[in-house]
Amino acid sequence: MSGRAVRVGVIGCGYWGPNLVRNFSRHAGSEVVALCDSRFERATRVGAEFRVPTITDRPEELLKAPDLDLVVIATPSFSHFELAKSAIAAGKHVLVMKPLTTKTEHAEELCALAEKQGVLIAVDHTFVFSGAVRKMRQLVQSGELGDLYYFDSVRINLGLIQADVNVVWDLAPHDISILDYLVDQEPLSVSATGAAHGGSPTENIAYVTVRYPGSLIGHVHVNWLAPAKVRRTILGGSKKMLIYDDVEPSEKLKIYDKGFSVAKQPAPENEYQLLISYRSGDMHAPQLETKEALAVEADNIVKAISGKESLICDGKAGLRVVKILEAAQRSMNQGGTTISIDAVSGVR
Amino acid sequence: MSGRAVRVGVIGCGYWGPNLVRNFSRHAGSEVVALCDSRFERATRVGAEFRVPTITDRPEELLKAPDLDLVVIATPSFSHFELAKSAIAAGKHVLVMKPLTTKTEHAEELCALAEKQGVLIAVDHTFVFSGAVRKMRQLVQSGELGDLYYFDSVRINLGLIQADVNVVWDLAPHDISILDYLVDQEPLSVSATGAAHGGSPTENIAYVTVRYPGSLIGHVHVNWLAPAKVRRTILGGSKKMLIYDDVEPSEKLKIYDKGFSVAKQPAPENEYQLLISYRSGDMHAPQLETKEALAVEADNIVKAISGKESLICDGKAGLRVVKILEAAQRSMNQGGTTISIDAVSGVR
Amino acid sequence: MSGRAVRVGVIGCGYWGPNLVRNFSRHAGSEVVALCDSRFERATRVGAEFRVPTITDRPEELLKAPDLDLVVIATPSFSHFELAKSAIAAGKHVLVMKPLTTKTEHAEELCALAEKQGVLIAVDHTFVFSGAVRKMRQLVQSGELGDLYYFDSVRINLGLIQADVNVVWDLAPHDISILDYLVDQEPLSVSATGAAHGGSPTENIAYVTVRYPGSLIGHVHVNWLAPAKVRRTILGGSKKMLIYDDVEPSEKLKIYDKGFSVAKQPAPENEYQLLISYRSGDMHAPQLETKEALAVEADNIVKAISGKESLICDGKAGLRVVKILEAAQRSMNQGGTTISIDAVSGVR
Amino acid sequence: MSGRAVRVGVIGCGYWGPNLVRNFSRHAGSEVVALCDSRFERATRVGAEFRVPTITDRPEELLKAPDLDLVVIATPSFSHFELAKSAIAAGKHVLVMKPLTTKTEHAEELCALAEKQGVLIAVDHTFVFSGAVRKMRQLVQSGELGDLYYFDSVRINLGLIQADVNVVWDLAPHDISILDYLVDQEPLSVSATGAAHGGSPTENIAYVTVRYPGSLIGHVHVNWLAPAKVRRTILGGSKKMLIYDDVEPSEKLKIYDKGFSVAKQPAPENEYQLLISYRSGDMHAPQLETKEALAVEADNIVKAISGKESLICDGKAGLRVVKILEAAQRSMNQGGTTISIDAVSGVR
């Protein structure tokens, strides 16, 4: 398919779908050729704005659009698996909104099927494509932060309570996908606690802890019932530490040249005090790339389909995130028990 | 002892001890008559400033000071139990720094002994006496916040790493004592995860979750390795929510008239969306009492000894906090297992 | 014209024009029937989006649109006078962007002409229609703030440097129109200092001081060359004070129950110290109306044309603001001399 | 006097005096040998704490203290001139609190007299010795900021209203002395506006504008009646800009790699728009020296007396600041007229 534009069909024209339509429409290497939504008029409205030729309310119709390359699945998460499976079976590349699926075994099945069919699975871990998170990855990869100590993320606000999913499946994929992208390894275990307040059928506040080999620890606080909006991630390393505050209008990422070291030899005169020395240097807020995350993501997917780049968020990344989410869910169901990440793997 | 001043002896003249000496010296109803520190010159220096007649480096000497009423124990926490036991056995009232002891059974033994001896145990849960926390208690007690949903506290900073205790025993007593004071009931269970980074022998970052009957959940994040100082507690209730930010120079306490409600009847046209309505009203930052917390605490203790008030932070409060800390420690030792609060009770 | 919709023509489809088109299109009581822009294709694009029947690049053509009631003038400020004059002469109501004109005498001429023709002049002092400013006006009018002491406004940022107007004519109309709306009286005099940096032909930083009868003082700092965005107005009164911070995402308006009083009798023992007592009470951030300011403005204009309301920002308000701007300009030209507001009046 | 400690006498033991006593007591190269305060018991109390041998309530007695080298004058500003004059006449070096005097001619007289007597005049422009301001000076001197465009300083709060001096003479010396230290040249002219609210006999809010050769402009807003504490200075340069926020607990100084440039050739297609390009790079908050400003100042003075360093804030600096303050006062008295700095020079 060298040369011609990637032909995209989008299923789901709710809150997030139109943003995807807009980005694939604007990209020079792709065009949106088909739209599907169970509410036909909603698909029509979006289609009119972006001049999409084929509109349908049936996913199987969308798959028949001529020369379709990529199916974007922007529907509620419970439907991701079946829709992605059909699209992959039809030989299409897919881009699936987060979380990839609602079960680990489903994610594994999709990965296996895609490999067999020779198509790509991309997962919409949008934050991974933001300027701030890409810069954070660079700082980790280059060794500037040193060994990672902890990842602490808070994503709280009042509102957007969902009924079909709890706060872990709704908000934590953002934090977990950032964690996965930065740490680049599978964790050992997960534990989580949550609570459903005010007559809500699902948890609206939750704390998720992710343990890695060594002393690295990840922790996520998600909450739909907070009086103020906080979106702040702290990443502690042995050399430097950083704070990523997504609510700040500018200087979202602050890198602190701060740390400590423990002397080998304990102080003689004070037996219960270590010889700790602190280091406190400059703070630096790098200028971040301001291109819309979704545009960067669309570009990566278009280039991956054309064989020019590898996918940044592929099915494996989606699977790793789903595993952590499922382990968190099991832990919550069992009153906070620690769940080994191996325990949530599928049937293979 | 009606009429005459409460005669106070203070053991421990390190970081915190002089503040206690200052406050009991200034209080019209008390006078500091004896000081003890294993470093004699340190006790001498403090004694000179506050004109304390008796200086010693041996606690047993301090107990012999004539007509001593109250022994203040401001030493490292591992020594609290033995020192408090001797003082109580000698018929003295005691004020013990936080945490009361390092073991639940010790705290229970002190409580039992004090009851037998007819003396008071006060515990220095300093924050409980701050204007902000007292106002928070009022708001809870008066029902203005409604049912409590969650207590989320973050106390992080770079520095003051201790070697004899981990971050949970050092910092979390502040948050746990505030939680205990506001909630006023025993929790069901505790779980905790921590990590020791950078060659430190003890945990320098930890997350503690406390579960109560109903859906109330408490969570504390303590961290000695954070690049910025955060001391923020969010209290969510069914009617209102508040944020207590102790780092703010003014308006430390903000009360938000915010909340949500779930309709009984789910919306017909959208099966996976609840009928949620949000309420977002005014924010209010009440003027807080600015009297030093320690002065309020000293006043309460002096009046309690004189029989005019009951103790606000007594041995039972100290015991409840130690139970939670010990449960958190056990949970960390067992990789995050949930520990029933009943499991940490002593030999009763 | 009772009953039928107000028929609107908009001249100028640059940055701000489309917002006006959108608001008059959406309002139930008005419809946009004609658009004009010297770049025809720009007018066409906006016209297509809002289904406006008549598109032209000549203002005189727009005036011929059948049954036109209101002409909105959203062009660069130097052209306001001629365009408004023609429209008024043709018997149309006008809405003119800020500043109404670039000369006091022009504003006076428009007011006189409109009165003669029996049409309305509305001026687009957008901020006056924001929830925060309307609340501020309420607080002033109700006496809750007491006597006004000062109005201090800072509007600085990097960017949007204009070449045809300086920073005073570009940014200060926002602050001056808020000041005018809150204070509701004409000032005595104005002084201003500015500077043109970096080879710019016009001032890019300026300070404007406005004096009123009594001790009330207004001050505005406008700056295109600041490293951070600040939009903050402080209003000091004898009873309360408030801070309106437009950069804050929530709690934009904070009302402080703070003040001081001076005792009549000076303290005897200290001859150079007054007996001052301070009062420091609660801070309150009221929930503000969140309706778009321009929608509130459009509604007021539509209702004023229909005779149901009086104009909130009429030609007189526009004139008062232009007088202050012209006085500030003269003061800058004369090195900061104080200019009496009477000196800038026109040919009456 | 090589070798022996500088012998210091301090006149005035009010709010600020004890801080000076403490710093000269602690410095290895100086000792405080005499204290004077019109309230004898106040001097006694301070003397006891710092073991000062000679205590008096008469300045002329203090001057007789054996081998006195330096007289520190920490009294209300109206008394600076006479006290400094006597001390200099007696052959002593002097350190005078800000402002040096209340009249330009007095400052000139002191400078002349000191030169004649061969003694030093130091002025306590404390902020000049803070880590932040010294760093700012470095950035200016090294050319990192480029050409200076503006200095904008806001110092407002509720409280500490003085009766003998207005807000300009009380607070603005801080900002003006920082401005003088950074800019290092005399201004052309000054204008100022102020107001006295609430029955106060002196101005409690004021705006001072200082013009320099070229387009550099300084502006200071001082206010005793503000609902929040702001202490923020913005320094704009052609290459970089910085914000110094003294209220921030950390990262007080932020350097922004931001700016703009104007193309020589105006854009052809748009006659009223310049070709402006903006530059927006990293923000950097350097670690600042945290040594107490007063300790740095005391060290400079001790070394200057010993001939090892030159004074950083000498009589000339004090004189330059007094000139600006007097010009501001005259401008306020004349309703805001611009006052040439030459007009306030004394009788030479």
pLDDT at B115 over 60: yes
Tokens of A59: 């996913």
* Predicted pLDDT of residue B312: 97
For every residue of C142-178, DSSP letters joined together read TTTT-SEEEEEEEEEEE----SSS-HHHHHHHHHHHH
Among chain D residues, the shortest Cα distance to B250 is held by D228
- The band of C266, judged by pLDDT with boundaries at 50, 70 and 90, is low
- The band of C94, judged by pLDDT with boundaries at 50, 70 and 90, is very high
Instruction: Give mean pLDDT, residues B251-276.
Output: 72
- The band of D266, judged by pLDDT with boundaries at 50, 70 and 90, is low
Among chain C residues, the shortest Cα distance to B255 is held by C284
Inter-chain residue contact D284 with A281, CB threshold 8 Å? no
Q: Rounded to whole angstroms, how far apart are CA atoms B256 and A155?
A: 18
B248 touches chain C (CB under 8 A): no
Give partners of B (≥3 CB pairs < 8 A). Answer: A, C, D
Q: What is the pLDDT of residues A139-198, one digit of tens each?
A: 999 999 999 999 999 999 987 777 778 999 999 999 999 999 999 889 999 999 999 998
Instruction: Give mean pLDDT, residues A233-244.
Output: 97
**Residue pair C157/C232 in contact by the 8 Å Cβ criterion:** no
CB neighbour burial string for D198-215, b if at least 16 within 10 angstroms, e if fewer: bebebbbbbbbbbbbeeb
pLDDT at A1 over 60: no
- The band of A272, judged by pLDDT with boundaries at 50, 70 and 90, is very low
* Predicted pLDDT of residue D348: 39
Instruction: Give mean pLDDT, residues C29-38.
Output: 97
pLDDT at C208 over 90: yes
CA distances from C300 to A90, C3, C23, C316 (A): 57, 16, 12, 16
Q: What is the mean pLDDT of chain A?
A: 93
Torsion of CA C317, C322, C328, C332, to 10 degrees: 170
Instruction: Give mean pLDDT, residues C56-73.
Output: 96
B241 touches chain A (CB under 8 A): yes
Reference D214, options C197, C262, A336; nearest CA is C197
Among chain C residues, the shortest Cα distance to D219 is held by C207
Q: What is the mean pLDDT of chain B?
A: 93
* Predicted pLDDT of residue D271: 47
Q: Can you name the residues that pair with A93 across neighbouring β-strands?
A: A70
The 3-state DSSP class for residue B181 equals helix
pTM: 0.93
* Predicted pLDDT of residue B261: 77
D285 touches chain A (CB under 8 A): yes
CB neighbour burial string for C204-221, b if at least 16 within 10 angstroms, e if fewer: bbbbbbbbbeebbbbbbb
Which of B280, B281, B285 shows the shortest C-beta gap to C283?
Answer: B285
Q: What is the pLDDT of residues D8-32, one digit of tens each?
A: 999 999 989 999 999 999 999 999 9
Q: Rounded to whole angstroms, how far apart are CA atoms C29 and C23?
A: 11
Instruction: Give mean pLDDT, residues C213-242.
Output: 96
* Predicted pLDDT of residue D264: 62
- The band of A199, judged by pLDDT with boundaries at 50, 70 and 90, is confident
Q: Rounded to whole angstroms, how far apart are CA atoms A267 and A49?
A: 71
DSSP B79: G
* Predicted pLDDT of residue C348: 39
Rg for chain C, CA atoms, rounded? 22
> Which secondary-structure segment (H or E) carries D217?
strand D217-223
The 3-state DSSP class for residue D134 equals helix
Inter-chain residue contact D228 with B247, CB threshold 8 Å? no
Sign of the dihedral defined by the CA atoms of residues B317, B319, B320, B326, in that order: positive
Letter for the amino acid at D41?
E
* Predicted pLDDT of residue C275: 67
Instruction: Give mean pLDDT, residues D178-192.
Output: 95
* Token pair 């490293």: residue: C227
Q: What percent of chain D has pLDDT over 70?
A: 95
Q: What is the pLDDT of residues B169-199, one digit of tens each?
A: 999 999 999 999 999 889 999 999 999 998 8
* Predicted pLDDT of residue C174: 97
Q: What is the pLDDT of residues D296-336, one digit of tens each?
A: 999 999 999 999 999 999 999 999 999 999 999 999 999 89
Cβ neighbors of D216 (< 8 A, separation 6 or more) are: C195, D148, D149, D150, D151, D183
For every residue of C14-41, DSSP letters joined together read SSSHHHHHHHHHHSTTEEEEEEE-SSHH
- The band of C270, judged by pLDDT with boundaries at 50, 70 and 90, is low
pLDDT at D3 over 80: no
* Predicted pLDDT of residue D272: 46
Q: Rounded to whole angstroms, how far apart are CA atoms B44 and B50?
A: 10
Q: What is the pLDDT of residues D137-148, one digit of tens each?
A: 999 999 999 999
CA distances from C89 to A76, C79, C101, C110, C119 (A): 59, 16, 16, 10, 9
Inter-chain residue contact C209 with D336, CB threshold 8 Å? yes
D273 touches chain C (CB under 8 A): yes
* Predicted pLDDT of residue C90: 97
Inter-chain residue contact A247 with C249, CB threshold 8 Å? yes
* Predicted pLDDT of residue A160: 72
Name which residue leads in pLDDT, B8 or C201: B8
Crossing angle between the packed helical segments D293-305 and D17-26, to the nearest 10 degrees:
60
* Predicted pLDDT of residue D97: 97
* Predicted pLDDT of residue C44: 95
Q: Taking phi first (over 0 means left), then psi (-120 to 50 degrees means alpha), and beta for anything else, what does residue D339 get?
A: beta
The 3-state DSSP class for residue D119 equals coil
Q: What is the pLDDT of residues A279-332, one digit of tens each?
A: 889 999 999 999 999 999 999 999 999 999 999 999 999 999 999 999 999 999
Inter-chain residue contact D285 with A284, CB threshold 8 Å? yes
DSSP D344: G
Contacts of D227 in chain B (CB under 8 A): none
Q: B189, B334, B338: which to substitute to probe chain A, counting the most A Cβ within 10 Å?
A: B338
- The band of D121, judged by pLDDT with boundaries at 50, 70 and 90, is very high
* Predicted pLDDT of residue B346: 57
Q: What is the pLDDT of residues A2-52, one digit of tens each?
A: 578 999 999 999 989 999 999 999 999 999 999 999 999 999 999 998 999
- The band of B271, judged by pLDDT with boundaries at 50, 70 and 90, is very low
Q: What is the pLDDT of residues D72-96, one digit of tens each?
A: 999 999 999 999 999 999 999 999 9
Instruction: Give mean pLDDT, residues B202-206.
Output: 93
Interface of D with B in 219-238 (CB under 8 A): 228-229
Torsion of CA D64, D65, D68, D72, to 10 degrees: -90
Inter-chain residue contact C282 with B283, CB threshold 8 Å? no
Q: Rounded to whole angstroms, how far apart are CA atoms B71 and B35?
A: 10
